């Protein structure tokens, strides 16, 4: 009986000793009190970098855009304001790139197509009525985006192409506006006068929108 009891006590001691060793080997972390949890280090979210305000646009440029867009909208009631302003942006870009007055480019455009990007008369295409037959060789060399006649129906392509052609005529005419307009259309003085009439109207509109600017 005593031997049996001794054996049982010995087994109990071995079991308890093994359990303690196992707990030590696992190295389980102590539980925290739910009512008093340990502090957690929270990294604050970084504040967004301030975005610098866009530089103010030149007042004259803004007035030119508005005057040109207004003219396009008057000439083509179906155009819509968004397209009119987009076409005006293309005109301003063309004037800057090729060194010509954007008001002249806009005046040519309204007399050629009445601001209709799909206008077509024989070989004359788009807003500026660019003559593809006459310029099919030179345009692809000057503009990587213009390879076929279809490319000329894109408003930006057409305005840039027309402004470039006009700038070439303007230089070869010694800066004479009437002569360069005659070369552009290949016609008489009547066409040039119509363009100049639109040009004068644009200049008056610009004066109203940007008083004090030349």
What is the per-residue pLDDT across 98-157, written as a single tens digit (0 to 9) for each?
A: 999 999 999 999 999 999 999 999 999 999 999 999 999 999 999 999 999 999 999 999
Query: 12-66 pLDDT, tens per residue?
Result: 554 545 444 444 444 555 554 556 655 555 556 567 777 766 666 688 889 999 9
At residue 132's C-alpha, the angle toward residues 156 and 147, to 5°, is 60
What pLDDT band is residue 210 in, cutting at 50, 70 and 90? confident
Of 103, 94, 35, the closest CA to residue 69 belongs to 103
pTM over 0.85: no
Q: Indicate the burial class of 120 (C-beta count within 10 angstroms; 0-12, 13-18, 19 or more).
A: middle
**Cα within 13 Å of Cα(170), Cβ side:** 16
- Give the H or E element holding residue 120: strand 120-121
Question: Which CA distances in Å does 192 have to 76, 103, 129?
Answer: 21, 14, 15
First-residue to last-residue Cα distance in the chain: 124
Q: Indicate the burial class of 35 (C-beta count within 10 angstroms; 0-12, 13-18, 19 or more).
A: exposed
> What domains can be seen in the chain, in order of their start residue?
59-207 (1.10.530.10)
Tokens of 133: 């037959």
């Amino acid at each position: 009986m005593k031997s049996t009891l001794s054996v049982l006590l010995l087994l109990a001691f071995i079991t308890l000793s093994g359990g303690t060793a196992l707990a030590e080997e696992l190295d389980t972390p102590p539980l925290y009190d739910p009512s008093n949890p340990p502090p957690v280090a929270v990294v604050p979210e970084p504040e967004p970098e301030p975005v610098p305000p866009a530089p103010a646009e030149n007042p004259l440029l803004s007035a030119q855009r508005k005057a040109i867009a207004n003219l396009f909208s008057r000439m083509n009631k179906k155009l819509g304001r968004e397209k009119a302003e987009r076409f005006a942006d293309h005109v301003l870009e063309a004037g800057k790139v090729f060194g010509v007055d954007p008001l002249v480019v806009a005046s040519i455009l309204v007399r050629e197509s009445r601001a209709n990007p799909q206008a077509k008369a024989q070989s004359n295409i788009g807003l500026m009525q660019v003559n593809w037959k006459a310029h099919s060789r030179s345009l692809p060399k000057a503009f990587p985006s213009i390879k076929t006649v279809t490319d000329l129906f894109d408003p930006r392509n057409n305005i840039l192409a027309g402004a470039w052609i006009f700038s070439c005529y303007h230089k070869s005419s010694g800066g004479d506006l009437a002569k360069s307009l005659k070369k552009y259309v290949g016609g008489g003085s009547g066409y040039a006068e119509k363009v100049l009439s639109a040009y004068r109207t644009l200049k008056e509109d610009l004066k109203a929108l940007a008083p004090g600017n030349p």
